[in-house]
Amino acid sequence: MAAAEIQVVNPANLAKIESFLNDPSYKEIIENSSTFNSRLCAERRMRMPFIDTQTGVAQSHCNLFMTKKQRMPGLKEGQVYSYPSQRYFF
């Protein structure tokens, strides 16, 4: 089996991608969407739990999303990242 070769990227395409990512309007869009998502998550945390009519369970905020600061190296073989466990409470 031959070793995998590294493919060279087309410099013209790479320049287009870099110019797009360095565009101030792109950065503004990313910052605005991040602000919106943060505000939406904060608003959801403030809401009162609601009763799910199908299951009869009170649904409340959950911590599905972790921040980059919470990332730790993988603890097991083949694990890229691990995250701290959250205390379960009502």
pLDDT of residue 63: 66
Condensed to tens digits (0 to 9), the pLDDT of residues 16-59 reads 888 988 999 999 999 999 999 999 888 888 888 778 888 888 87
What's the alpha-carbon Rg for the chain, to the nearest Å? Answer: 21
pTM of the entire structure? 0.46
| C-alpha span between 52 and 89 (Å, rounded) | 19
What amino acid occupies position 49?
P
Task: Calculate the alpha carbon distances from 19 to 7, 26, 28, 33 in Å.
Answer: 21, 10, 14, 20
pLDDT of residue 35: 93
Beta pairing partners, 73? 81
